[in-house]
Structures are given as C-alpha cells and as structure tokens.
Chain A
Amino acid sequence: MKKLALPILLSALLAACSSTGPEATGAKVEDRSGGAGVTTVTAGSPSGSGIAALTDPNNILSKRSVFFDFDSFVIKSEAKPLVEAHARFLVQNPQMKMLIQGNTDERGSREYNLALGQKRADAVKQALLLLGAKETQLESVSLGEEKPRCEEASEACFAQNRRGDMLYSGEF
C-alpha cells in the first residue's frame, strides 16, 4: 500500500470537505415570470478526489462494490477479502470516514427499494464493525434504485445494481 503521502493528503481533503459543507439554501437562479410562480434552484453537489492507495487499480482498496443476490442482504463469501481489506484500512486510519451506499434493482416501489438498499448498506457496515472499524467512522445510507450501474432490464444488469458501494472522506 502507498501510505506515505496519506496523512498530508488526508488533512488537505478533510479541510476541503469542511469548507464546502452542505448548502441548506440554494441560490436563486432566475425569476421565471409567467412560469406559474416557481423559482428555479440548481442543487450543488460535493466533489472530492480519492487518495492514491484508494484509487490505484492494483490495490484491492480501489474496489468498492459488494454485490448481493436477489432479495438477499447477506455478504457473499467471495466479497469477504474486499470487506476485510477496507476494514483494515479503516482500523489503520481511524480519522478516515466511510459512506456506505446500498443499491437495489429497479423492480417495485422507489421508497420500498430505498429501504431494501439500506439493509444492504447496513450489512456492509455490520461486517466492517465486526472487523474492527468504529461506529463513528461509518455511515450507511441507501440510494435505492436511483443510481443503477446498468440500465437494461435483464438479470445480468439487475445483478450489477444489487450492491453496496464504499466511499471514503472526500468522495462524498
């Protein structure tokens, strides 16, 4: 692992992160007279970059997705080395935080799928906790069916979308 530059990069990232916190109030863009009395707002979006070790394709830490079977919320044995590697990284870098995003395929209600995606994110979080990561480092959330990796209505595609994604500080 390329860990040397990490603390410096990290503090820079965290500083950048705190200076671009969430905006509760969007800027008014234009007054659309005649547009039914509605003012348009453009939402901001956080953008952060990764850390070398986390984006190096030769490093297992660059892999961020845990895939699930249909209607399942159990981490498969093939995903265990990946989860273990991320748990080790979190233990060695206690200042690092992780956002775990659960995802589902597109079948059914959006809000119910959001709740099902949460169960996948929680499964990844529980595994990381058991492997030594701290509760304060982890947040599990769901994107439901809203961010499919693959948009065809086929089983191969649905399988790509049933996953938990792990994002580190600065990436969310």
Chain B
Amino acid sequence: MFRASVVTPMLATFRLLILAALASLSLTAHAQLSIEIVGAGASRYPVVIPIFENESQLPRGVTDVVRADLERSGLFSLVSIGPQALPESAVPDLAGIRSRGADAVLTGSFVPQGDGRYQVRFRLFDTQKQVELGAMALPMAPAQNRAVGHRIADFVYEKLTGQPGYFSTRIAYVVKSGSSYELQVADADGMNAATALRSREPIISPAWSPDGQRLAYVSFEQKKPIVYVHTLATGQRRVVANFKGSNSAPAWSPDGSQLAVVLTKDGLSQLYALNADGSGVRRLASSSGIDTEPAWAADGNIYFTSDRGGSPQIYRVSAGGGTAQRVTFDGGYNVTPRPSPDGRQLAFITRNNGRFQVAVLDIASKQTTILTDSARDESPSFAPNGRMILYATESGGRGVLSAVSSDGRVKQRLTVQAADVREPAWGPQVR
C-alpha cells in the first residue's frame, strides 16, 4: 500500500516514507528506494489539494501521489481543509481557502467512461488573484494512478513556478548487493524500480539517450571496461566501443546520434566521438595527460576532466574541434562536469579540504557555489528542468543517492535497504 506523510509545518525537517506498492512487484521490492527530505525551500508555496470527486472508486489513489511529489520538491507546503472533495464543476470558495493560508487550490474529478476507464479533469485556482490558472483533462486506466498523479503534479508545478515539473521523469542508478550489480531504472520518486541489467561484474557511468529509450553504460562483464548501448524496453544490447584497452565514460550528443567516449587504444585515456551504433570513431581532443568524463552541452561544447595542467580540472572544447579552454581554476581537484539543460550552469565535484562535494559554476559570472556538506559525493546529474541535482554520496558506510536543489536549499536522500546505490543519472523529460 502507498503511504505518504501528513502536512508538516514550514521549514521543519520532515520525512516521507514510500513503501512498496504491490505485493506482485516483490521482485523489485528489495531494491525500493525510500526518499527522505532533509531540507526545504526558504519560502514554500502553500497549496490545497483535496481528494478528487469519485477518487474513492479507484483501487489506488492519485491525489496522494500529487501531494507527495509537490511536498518532496521542497517548493510547496500542503494545507488541509478537510477530507471532502470540492466539486470540479464549480469555482471553490477562494476567499475562504485563502483565509486558511493557502495561495492555490486544485480541484478535480474522475469521470467514469463506462469501460472501466476514467477521464480525470482538474482545475487550478489562485486564491490571491481569485483567478483560474488552468485546467486539463486526461484519459486514464485505474492502474495508471501513479503516472497520472505525476502528470498532475507537473501541471501544478509548472503553473505555480513557471518551470516544467520533473515528476514524470525516470532515474537510472546501480545497486551493488554483495557481489551482484544491478543497473536499475525507477520513476523520479523512487517507485516502480526495474532491473535493466544484472551482472556479477561492475557497471558504471549510465547515460540516458535524449529520447529516454536507451542507456549507454560501461560494463566490466568481459573483465575490461566496454561501452554498451541498451534499449530498455526490449533489453537489446549493442557493444558500441570495445577497442584494445579501456572503453568508458559515454556521453550522448544532444540529438542522440553520437556518443563521446574515452578510449585508451592510442595510449592514455583520450576523448573520441562515434556514431550511436559504434561506427565512425574519431578523435575529439588530444593532450599529453588524461582526458575523461566528457559531457555534451546543448550549445555543442563538450566539457571534460583533464590533468594536462598537472591536477584534474575541468576543460571545454567544441565538438567540432579546436583548442580546449580551462574552466575551473580554484582547488586541486575538480572533476565530473555536468552542464545544466539550459547550459547556464555546470555541476561538478570539487575536493574541498579533503572532502569531495557537489558544486555548481555559473558559467556567465564564473561564480562557484558548493552545495553539499558531505564528504564522498560523486556523479552529479541535473533534473531536466535544471532545478535539482541528483548525486551519489555515502551515509552510514553505505552508498546512497541524494538530490540537492541548484540553489542548495532543498535536500533529499534516497536509500535502498541493505545495499549500496551509486552512479545515478537523471533521465530526460519525454513528452
């Protein structure tokens, strides 16, 4: 059964535990991520989201998914005005709701379609301006309750923050349990986890294709690092880079037609590009040091880690070639550059007094901000709307995933019982 926390006071640290949804999914239950929120935004938007009309007819709820998504984002606080649904066909008492401290209210209704399916209709109102902010109707089968809840949460998030939501996206990560490695894919709330690849050898560096259908990753199943592209729906795998030496660090081009990879076929680890089917390998950059961890930004630049200057630092080169430019200058260890979707920020890992922490660089102002206070952070990746950064860290001697907002205010922790979780990658927004 699904259970979410109740309304909590603003700025309080609160906890949201998500339990396995269905006994029939017990195959994945051992790997269920539970999410704990350890910090919230300075000013959260108070909203009322009552149960929708006819929701009790559904086997599993939808509005509880909406409420959990919005609360977990750290940008909203939930205000309760009672257990009753508000009629979707009427404008609610906006002044009355305003007097309860809420700035917005969502009303909705499930309309039976006679074939077991429903149409869910919902409307969002601003109680201050006393206006309707938008309305939408979606067809749904009762089993789609979570997906529909995420869509509704995306709608509310976008209307109230002006930015697209990320609740309908997926994340990939690697779970190590004993000597078993699993590459898993889950919804952004940690639910619905499924295993894409199970291996007795390590799997690292998963990277989502821009269409969200495929993962590129490095698998050591042949006793050396080889880059694969794996189609999630069919399980079909293709070796795209298996040259003599090591093959690693895949990064997709924005159009999904190419991959940047790191190969050692000509000596030290260096950057190459190849087509997504593995053909047409060519050199991207040359140095006398290590070049690795490429990330392809939307503007055609490739950010990467290089120790050509003595210590590992972040550099940038055009995918079309040219001279590489150094991007980071402070500190002796700056690695794993990951550009934000709009290209304005760069998340990376910096060593700060012996601690490895997530930092963001504002590319225009060159201002760097360290976002975490942990010591073993790795593998940052932006949510598709650029608001959150997912990363791996360590807690209680175990690998866990954490997320932090790009302003450092909202923090979440995602853990799997009795296993190490690492190598997270936030998937794209697929509409």
A residues contacting B by CB (< 8 A) are 22, 24-26, 28-29, 32, 34-46, 99, 101, 107-112, 114-116, 118-119, 122, 139-144, 146-147, 167, 172
CA distance A116 to B238 in the complex (A): 27
Q: In the complex, what's the smallest C-beta–C-beta distance from B326 to chain A, in angstroms?
A: 16
Is A112 a contact partner of B312 (Cβ separation < 8 A)?
Answer: yes
Which residues of A have CB within 8 Å of B356?
Answer: 107-108
Tell me the bound Cα distance from A26 to B170 in angstroms.
23
Q: Contact: B204 with A37, CB < 8 Å?
A: no
Determine if A115 and B195 form an interchain contact, defined as CB atoms under 8 angstroms apart: no
Minimal beta-carbon separation of B318 from chain A (angstroms): 21
Can you list 21 contacts pairing A with B, beta carbon distance less than 8 Å? A22-B239, A25-B238, A26-B197, A32-B27, A36-B192, A36-B193, A38-B185, A38-B195, A43-B201, A43-B221, A44-B221, A101-B224, A108-B356, A111-B205, A111-B249, A111-B305, A114-B248, A118-B246, A122-B264, A141-B246, A167-B223
Given A41-B196, A99-B224, 14 additional A-B pairs, CB 8 A: A24-B239, A32-B194, A32-B195, A40-B194, A43-B200, A45-B201, A110-B204, A111-B204, A111-B293, A114-B248, A115-B246, A118-B269, A144-B204, A144-B225
A-chain residues with CB within 8 Å of residue B248 when the two chains form the complex: 111, 114
Q: Shortest beta-carbon distance, A68 to chain B, in Å?
A: 16
Task: Give the complex CA separation of A39 and B25 in angstroms.
Answer: 14
State which size class the interface on B falls in: 35 or more
Determine whether the beta carbon of A115 is less than 8 Å from that of B269.
yes
Measured in the bound complex, the distance between the Cα atoms of B236 and A110 in whole Å is: 26
**Smallest CB-CB separation from A34: which chain B residue?**
B25
Q: Are B223 and A26 in contact, CB atoms less than 8 angstroms apart? A: no
Which residues does chain A contribute within 8 Å of B292, judged by CB atoms?
111-112, 114-115
Chain B positions 193-228 with a Cβ under 8 Å from a chain A Cβ = 193-202, 204-205, 219-226
Q: Which single residue of chain B is at the shortest CB-CB distance from A102?
A: B246
Given A99-B223, A118-B246, A172-B223, A110 and B379 contact (CB-CB distance below 8 Å):
yes
B64 at interface by CB-CB < 8 Å = no
Knowing A43-B198, A115-B292, A147-B202, say if A24 contacts B238 (CB, 8 Å).
Answer: yes
Q: Of all chain A residues, which has the CB nearest B226?
A: A22
